[in-house]
Amino acid sequence: MIIVKSPREIGLIREAARVVAVALEEIREYIVPGVSTQALNDKIDEIVRREGAFPGELGYYGYPASVCASVNECILHGIPSKKKILHDGDIITLDLVAKKDGYCGDAARTYCVGICGERQKRMIAIAEECFYNAMSLVKPGVRVGDISHAIEETAKKHGCSVPREYTGHGIGRDMHEDPSIPCYGKPGTGPELREGMTICVEPMILEGKPNVRVLGDGWTVLAKDGKLTSHYENTLVVTADGCEILSKL
Q: Which residues bind ligand MF3 (CB under 6 A)?
A: 57, 60-61, 63, 68, 77, 95, 97, 106, 108, 202, 233
CA distance 118 to 159: 15
Q: Which does 222 bind (CB under 5 to 8 A by kind): Co ion, ligand MF3, none?
A: none
Q: Which of 106, 128, 146, 152 binds Co ion (CB under 5 A)?
A: 106
Does residue 200 interact with Co ion by CB under 5 A?
Answer: yes
E strand residue ranges, 61-102: 68-71, 74-76, 91-100
Closest distance to ligand MF3 from the beta carbon of 122 (Å): 22
The reply to whether 177 sits near Co ion by the rule CB under 5 A is: no
Residue 154 or residue 167: which is nearer to Co ion going by CB? Answer: 167
Question: 10, 199 in Cβ contact below 8 A?
Answer: no
Nearest to 109 by CA among 121, 94, 96: 94
Q: Which residue is nearest to ligand MF3 (CB)?
A: 57
Specify the residue, 7 or 216, whose C-beta has the smaller distance to ligand MF3: 216
Nearer to ligand MF3, 32 or 215 (CB): 215
Q: How many CB atoms lie within 10 A of CB 226?
A: 10
Write down the least CB distance from residue 1 to ligand MF3, Å: 19
Among ligand MF3, Co ion, none, residue 183 binds (CB under 5-8 Å by kind): none
123 binds, among Co ion, ligand MF3, none (CB under 5 to 8 A by kind): none
Which residues partner with 100 through β-bridges? 103
Smallest gap from Cβ 39 to Co ion, in A, equals: 23
Half-sphere exposure of 21 (CA within 13 A, CB side): 14
Q: Which is nearer to Co ion, 85 or 202 (CB)?
A: 202
Non-local (6+) Cβ contacts of 15 within 8 A are: 100, 101, 103, 105
Cα distances (Å, whole numbers) of residue 238 to 1, 2, 107, 197: 17, 13, 16, 5
Would you tell me which residues interact with Co ion (CB under 5 A)? 106, 200
